[in-house]
Amino acid sequence: MALMRSVATIGGYTMLSRILGFARDTLFAAILGAGMAADCFMIAFRLPNFFRALFAEGAFNAAFVPLYSRILAGEDGKLRAARFAGEIATLLTLTVTGFVALAMIFMPQAMLVLAPGYSSDPPKFELAIELTRLAFPYLAYISLVSLQGAVLNANHRFAAPAATPILMNLVLIAALLIPHTVLSTAHTQAAAVTIAGIAQFIWLMIHLEHIGLGIRLYRPRMGPEIKRFFKLLMPAVVGAGIYQVNVLIDMVLASLLPAGTVSYLFYADRLNQLPLAVIGIAISTALLPLLSRQLAAGTLDAAVKTQNRALEGAMLLTLPAAAALAAIPETIIGVLFERGAFTATDTIETARALGILGLGLPAFTATKVFTPAFHAREDTRTPVRLAMIALLVNFVIALIAMWPLQQAGLALASTIAAWVNMAQLMFILRKRGHFAPDRRLISRLIRLTLATAAMVGVLLLLEWQLRPYFTQALWWQAGALTLLVSAGGLSFLISALVLRGVDVADLKRLVLRGGGG
């Protein structure tokens, strides 16, 4: 299946990026731990990434890819599509550059809203402002990177955009290896974020020029395509960025809790993001162009079938990952991060958040599968309405749970909101006749759930047996964790094959690479 080959391409590069990301986070945790400098950098790092995900990535792709694909398929498609991309590039450059400039000027006022708890600690408040000003220009470059990646994805060239996060991690790791104090490390890391954005922009610019898809700036004409783009973009800003909105709410509320809470959530979310990025985002990225093409051709039944197989493939990979994060979070956190300034207490507190976020992973991933079904039909309004309901659920539960449970309460709110959002999307799609779970999907989900339960039993038993090795030197810990994860994965695979939740042909499609450029 071409979809799963494309997912393998995107997921493979994403996995490499996340491995480098873990190396970066481990080094970062050892040097900065979970103290004031780390908390301030988390704010500085999250803020431009939040706006990127909200405006320039999820929402942008939802509005741009279906329109670009439709123009590309029409008369003089290549020339008209290039012009459309150039006009959007001009508008994006002007808008984002102006926004970044204003944000840099009014950063103190913005910080009062984004991290109100820091205002009572002047040194921490000032450090957060300094670091965010260093990192925020990254937004301008990564917004253009999102446009470059959207053009490549719409032309079924998935590899180069999927590889861009690798550059980010390499730059940040290099910056961490420069000898300096804790405070200067935070400043260097913040500056490195912007440098990484420049590197990513140049990488895709070279790649686009090499294959003849270079983007030229054109004076925008407010024609029907541009008007339609903005009509789709504005509602998609909230709908496609619901997860990031929840993250921002957590960040603001976490700043009101004891020191370290922001960092605990950051480290937990980083681990939760690994399977979400490798599986959910990869499927969403590959699914949108495919569904758009099938719907444009009028093959509605094929689109529904594609949706079923996408959800099936997503759960095949997501269920065991979610179960592992929920079953053994403390062991995972301890091996990956507990050294240097990152203490045993930090491990316990971070694990409390990770275990709960893991329970929401299937919902987060399924949302990435269902949302393209709306966007491919150029419907960005419905996900907005549903996203607002989930956002309200997240906020209310967070306010109730944050004080007694602290970071675990914030994680619980995000998890429940994710399940609410996923359930709404699925219900509306079914009501409209755009999604109907077939017999194969239902049967396999039940079998995969049983295989996941068997895997959890193996994980818990083996973790108990390996516990003495997790108190030894790092190499012993890493070896024990590798054995634990490998045994868990193997037990899931065997159980899934025995229970017929997956067959050998499915596995071949997942591991075959190609078709993604």
Please, are residues 40 and 131 in contact by the beta-carbon 8 Å criterion? yes
Which pTM was predicted?
0.75
Contacting residues for 240 by C-beta, under 8 A, at least 6 apart: 54, 57, 58, 59, 61, 62, 371, 375, 380, 383
Same domain, 382 and 406: yes
Joined tokens for residue 332: 């995972």
| DSSP symbols for 34-66 | TSHHHHHHHHHHHHHHHHIIIIIIHHHHHHHHH
Task: Report whether pLDDT(74) > 80.
Answer: no
In a domain, 79, yes or no: yes
Quote the pLDDT of residue 516.
41
What would the pLDDT profile of 324-340 be if each residue is shown by its tens digit? Answer: 999 999 999 999 888 87
Task: Give the number of residues written for the chain.
Answer: 517
What would the pLDDT profile of 7-56 be if each residue is shown by its tens digit? Answer: 777 777 878 887 888 788 888 878 877 678 888 888 888 888 877 776 66
Average pLDDT value for the chain: 86
Task: Report whether pLDDT(426) > 60.
Answer: yes
Same domain, 425 and 311: yes
In this prediction, residue 494 has a pLDDT band, given cuts at 50, 70 and 90, of very high
In a domain, 428, yes or no: yes
Same domain, 346 and 455: no
Same domain, 507 and 373: no
Quote the pLDDT of residue 514.
39
In a domain, 502, yes or no: yes
Q: Residue 49 is part of which domain span?
A: 2-437
Final residue before a domain boundary, out of 400, 420, 437? 437
Q: How far is the C-alpha of 79 from the C-alpha of 287, rounded, in Å?
A: 25
Same domain, 298 and 379: yes
Same domain, 211 and 313: yes
More confident residue, 359 or 517: 359
In a domain, 369, yes or no: yes
- The sign of the torsion formed by the CA atoms of 375, 379, 384, 386 equals negative
In this prediction, residue 515 has a pLDDT band, given cuts at 50, 70 and 90, of very low
Joined tokens for residue 501: 């939740």
More confident residue, 516 or 473: 473
Nearest to 426 by CA among 476, 471, 374, 468: 374
**What does residue 492 show for φ and ψ, rounded to 5 degrees?**
-65, -45
Same domain, 412 and 459: no
Same domain, 357 and 261: yes
What is the count of structural domains for the chain? 2
Same domain, 414 and 499: no
Same domain, 242 and 318: yes
Final residue before a domain boundary, out of 378, 407, 437? 437
In a domain, 402, yes or no: yes
Final residue before a domain boundary, out of 417, 437, 457? 437
Same domain, 413 and 449: no
In this prediction, residue 353 has a pLDDT band, given cuts at 50, 70 and 90, of very high
In a domain, 517, yes or no: no
In a domain, 208, yes or no: yes
Same domain, 489 and 345: no
